[in-house]
Amino acid sequence: MKDELTKRRLEDLAQKSYKGNHYTFTSFLTEAELSEFYEIKHISPSDYTVFGGRPDAERVMIRFGNPEEFGYTEEFPLKCVIIEPISKKFAEALTHRDFLGCLMNLGIKRSEIGDIIVEEKAAYVFCTDKMADYICSEITRVRHTVVSCSITENLPSETQSQRTELEIQAASERIDGVISKVFRISRSGCSELFREKKIFVNGRGCENSSYILKENDKVSVRGFGKFIYICTGGTTRKGNRILKIEKF
């Protein structure tokens, strides 16, 4: 039922954009919600844009509308707030959970908050533009650390996904075998992840453990991380494939 409600809500926003000849926006969507959207067959890719404030964002918004038809472009209603300690010397080692908990204690809905990127003792928080000023005015402390908040457009390189190139050996490009090698998960553990619908390929939920990866497929394994399958770089003497991966 929840999946159908998500699809219906997204379809309504797409229809409002089409009939009203103006842009409409979602709040921040989870990977699972985005996957539900991709299952809606009648919405053309030219009629929407997906963005979360940074490349490879986990939580994203959808903007419905076609710039060519409308004759103009409207920016996504999101901003980035940096939360940083007043004195880094005496600041605690704050985590993603600390910053998220502080935001949730303000009564902010999770859908109003996008990715939270923690860099040293500070955090870059992507949020809806209507929440940015509220966050800046209300947050003065995270745990025991006194902080300041401000809206920023200058994002450090750490807010971009840090990728590591690696090569693995697998019997084939079959997704369960590759996931097992990349994250060092047993085959039975992989099967459980598929049953729990925690595997996504290019933003779409994947329940087919025998899916053969294609070049540049982006795979997300909830709770473990993401990787991009680049290509096959040959075979070993035992006949295994040498697969090139970018993990992040």
Residue 163's pLDDT band, with cuts at 50, 70 and 90, is confident
pLDDT, tens digit (0-9, with 9 covering 90-100), for 71-121: 999 999 999 999 999 998 888 999 999 999 999 999 999 999 999 999 888
Q: What is the mean pLDDT of the chain?
A: 91
pLDDT at 1 over 60: no
pLDDT score, position 120: 81
pLDDT score, position 25: 98
pLDDT score, position 65: 96
* Structural domain spans, the chain: 2-70, 78-159, 164-247
Residue 34 CB neighbour total at 10 angstroms = 23
Q: Which is the CATH superfamily of the domain at 78-159?
A: RRM (RNA recognition motif) domain (3.30.70.330)
Q: Which of 27, 141, 159 is nearest to 94 (CA)?
A: 141
CATH fold of 164-247: 3.10.290
pLDDT at 160 over 60: no
How far apart CA 22 and CA 69 sit, in angstroms, is: 10
**In the structure encoding, which two tokens stand for residue 100, read together?**
């998220």
pLDDT at 222 over 80: yes
User: What is the chain's alpha carbon radius of gyration, rounded to the nearest angstrom?
Assistant: 20
Query: Which position has the higher pLDDT, 52 or 203?
Result: 52
Residue 177's pLDDT band, with cuts at 50, 70 and 90, is very high
Non-local CB neighbours of 49 within 8 Å, separated by 6+ positions: 62, 63
pLDDT at 159 over 60: no
pLDDT, tens digit (0-9, with 9 covering 90-100), for 11-43: 999 999 999 999 999 999 998 899 889 888 888
Angle between helices 175-183 and 187-195 (to 10 degrees): 110
How far apart CA 120 and CA 84 sit, in angstroms, is: 9
Per DSSP, the residues of 29-48 read: B-HHHHHHHHT-TTS-GGGE
How far apart CA 76 and CA 194 sit, in angstroms, is: 33
